[in-house]
């Protein structure tokens, strides 16, 4: 389903993990996945927990945000660009090393900008690029789990 390019005002109810939120928008409760990025799973300790903490620091409950819905994912979540008074939240997470650029889903994102920002965070060894670095990208880990593990 193609979404029109429109912004929807929302309020953060809770942060689920490093790239997912529960928000109130247009009188509804929505599960939102941040577009353009992929954060470590909570089970990927300590990176997933740190990533969630980074998103919570940027968007504590009650934060006013603007969503630009881009579609839905296979879990039924709304995939959206998320803006706050601080800027593009996905980009800020990548800049701080709290999330990876989700290369498989960059078709409606600033590909060059996101990748350059990730490379800078990696060179500076920020967040998940620090000691020890994240061993597997989250999409690789999900693929491995679907194949039966062993990675």
Neighbours of 31 (CB within 10 A): 15
The pLDDT tens digits for 122-145 are 999 999 898 787 766 776 666 666
The pLDDT of residue 141: 64
pTM, full prediction? 0.87
CB 111 within 8 A of CB 118: no
SS3 121: helix
Confidence at 116, pLDDT banded by 50, 70, 90: very high
Helix, strand, coil shares of the chain, percent, nearest 5, are 30, 30, 40
**Structural domains of the chain, with CATH:** 8-144 (2.40.50.90)
The pLDDT tens digits for 26-47 are 999 999 999 999 999 898 888 8
The pLDDT tens digits for 9-23 are 999 999 999 999 999
By annotation, the residues acting in catalysis are: 33, 41, 77
CB 70 within 8 A of CB 40: no
The pLDDT of residue 108: 86
Q: Which helix (H) or strand (E) holds 52?
A: helix 47-58
């Amino acid at each position: 389903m193609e979404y029109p390019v429109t912004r929807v005002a929302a309020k953060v109810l809770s942060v689920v993990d490093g790239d997912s939120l529960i928000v109130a928008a247009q009188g509804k409760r929505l599960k939102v996945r941040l577009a353009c990025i992929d954060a470590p799973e909570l089970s990927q300790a300590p990176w997933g927990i740190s990533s969630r903490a980074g998103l919570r620091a940027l968007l504590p409950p009650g934060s006013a945000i603007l969503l630009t819905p881009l579609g839905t994912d296979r879990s039924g979540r709304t995939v959206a660009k998320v803006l706050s008074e601080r800027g593009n939240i996905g980009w800020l997470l990548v800049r701080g090393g709290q999330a990876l650029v989700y290369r498989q889903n960059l078709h409606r994102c600033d590909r060059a900008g996101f990748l350059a920002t990730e490379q800078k965070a990696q060179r500076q060894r920020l967040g998940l690029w620090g000691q020890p670095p994240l061993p597997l990208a989250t999409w690789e880990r999900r693929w491995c789990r679907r194949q039966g593990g062993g990675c």
